[in-house]
Amino acid sequence: MAQKTKLYYFDGRGKMESVRWLLAAAGVEFEEEFLETREQYEKLLKGGSLIFQQVPMVEIDGMKMVQTRAILNYIAAKYNLYGKDLKERALIDMYVGGTDDLMSFIMTFPFLSAEDKEKQRALIVQKATSRYFPAYEKVLKDHGQDFLVGNNFTWADVHLLEAIFMVEEKKTDVLSGFPHLQAFKTRISSIPTIKKFLEPGSQRKPVPDDKYVETVRRVLCMYNDIKAD
């Protein structure tokens, strides 16, 4: 029997959350080991598991994989969520890259001061509504299909849905001016594996709180030296 995929990260979103989303979308069950102490992190370092001294790390198919994009690429390809040819894969990479750019404004949000959080919240909404969401709205409108690439469910759809939920946590009506994205959200959220992941009790992580921030700071010694990629 094949060993179940295992994730090594904090008990929170961060870089690992997109991995959880993609595995869940593929219908893959996984286990998690949460880093709660500096000793756990140092044990992984001393054991040579973290080749670049960074988390996330995922054990899958006999490999100990690091580097978030490499992990996601592998999962997407393994479970047929990476398009049918090179052209579709290029489009998926392009859309995922754009979504990553938007997510980058959200990733550091929990670690900011209260004053900086308000500024960052406004920036996140501004970037989403003026740059990123209009782009995806146009893609969906122009090709008139249910999904972003090839009219098939791919990693690009999973990643965009994750980003939509993240931005909606900053402004609940952020999709009000994007009817195609509203329909997209409803459609993708109804896919059985995604629907299951969105239900209470799943391995989807909540909005990062102070406990998560404190744990990350403690395990990695200081925020400015966070080794996560």
Q: In the chain, pLDDT over 90 holds for what percent of residues? A: 93
pLDDT at 221 over 90: no
pLDDT in tens, 140-187: 999 999 999 999 999 999 999 999 999 999 999 999 999 999 999 999
Q: Give Cβ neighbours of residue 193 (< 8 Å, ≥ 6 apart).
A: 24, 25, 26, 27
Angle at 161 between CA 155 and CA 165, to 5 degrees: 145
Q: How far is CA 127 from the centre of its chain?
A: 18
Phi, psi dihedral angles at 9 (to 5 degrees) = -170, -175
Q: Where along the chain do its domains lie?
A: 6-79+198-220, 86-190
Q: Please give the residue that has the higher pLDDT: either 182 or 224.
A: 182
- Enter the DSSP assignment of 8: E
Name the CATH topology of 6-79+198-220.
Glutaredoxin (3.40.30)
Nearest to 129, CA basis, from 179, 161, 175: 175
pLDDT in tens, 19-60: 999 999 999 999 999 999 999 999 999 999 899 989 999 999
pLDDT at 226 over 70: no
Name the CATH topology of 86-190.
Glutathione S-transferase Yfyf (Class Pi); Chain A, domain 2 (1.20.1050)
pLDDT at 8 over 70: yes
